[in-house]
A and B are shown apart, each in its own frame.
Chain A
Amino acid sequence: AQSVTQPDIHITVSEGASLELRCNYSYGATPYLFWYVQSPGQGLQLLLKYFSGDTLVQGIKGFEAEFKRSQSSFNLRKPSVHWSDAAEYFCAVGAGSNDYKLSFGAGTTVTVRA
């Protein structure tokens, strides 16, 4: 079964600074990878996804993520953070191939300071 680790529970970043959130997965084959964002009291919104092809994927709100098979990682980045990016971020992995289960990381909470 697949699993996901988000090593950072909480990150504080200054507005305008760059942000990188780490995600490591465990799965034998090439997984389906997702990043979701959750604002307080809200559901999860998809930021971006990786299924195959180009290992650098672009998402909404200026986010991008890079799939690195050799490191089993799918880190999320944003060059310049805005105060509205304060939220909780979840990495998720799916196996596909008739396996409908997504495994989520525990999440990283991002605080943006002025």
Chain B
Amino acid sequence: NAGVTQTPKFQVLKTGQSMTLQCAQDMNHNSMYWYRQDPGMGLRLIYYSASEGTTDKGEVPNGYNVSRLNKREFSLRLESAAPSQTSVYFCASSDGEDQPQHFGDGTRLSIL
């Protein structure tokens, strides 16, 4: 019962480097989400994919791109990393907009 799996768990980048965070779910959920978590700010939605083949911006999309590769996988890309993107990134999935979201364990990303 893996649920939502995120890779890598930790990463350190230099400013300007690119990076793709991977997320896969095995619950056959239609919807997937990427959040960032910063101290005192809760979770903020970066991008989401309501269903395979669609993606939409969330609250804080600038500096990120996403790809819904198939129903299972949803990746998040930082094209040119900036120190302001240092954060913990969470992927989640759900079976629709009115269903609970299931979260991965997060990727801790530091940008120097």
The reply on B34 being an interface residue by CB < 8 A is no
Identity of the chain B residue whose Cβ is nearest the Cβ of A90 in the assembled complex: B42
Q: How far apart sit A73 and B48, CA to CA, in the bound complex (Å)?
A: 27
Where the two chains meet, the residues of B that have a C-beta atom closer than 8 Å to any C-beta of A are 4, 31, 33, 40-45, 48, 50, 56, 58-59, 90, 92, 97-98, 100-106
Q: How far apart sit A49 and B95, CA to CA, in the bound complex (Å)?
A: 14
Where the two chains meet, the residues of A that have a C-beta atom closer than 8 Å to any C-beta of B are 4, 9, 32, 34, 36, 41-46, 49, 51, 90, 92, 94-102, 104-107
B50, B56, B101: the one within 8 Å of A102 (CB): B101
- 6 cross-chain CB contacts under 8 A: A44-B43, A46-B102, A90-B43, A100-B31, A102-B43, A104-B43
Identity of the chain B residue whose Cβ is nearest the Cβ of A34 in the assembled complex: B100
On whether A46 and B42 interact (CB within 8 A), knowing A100-B48, A100-B50, A101-B58, the answer reads no
Flag if B45 contacts A32 (CB, 8 Å).
Answer: no
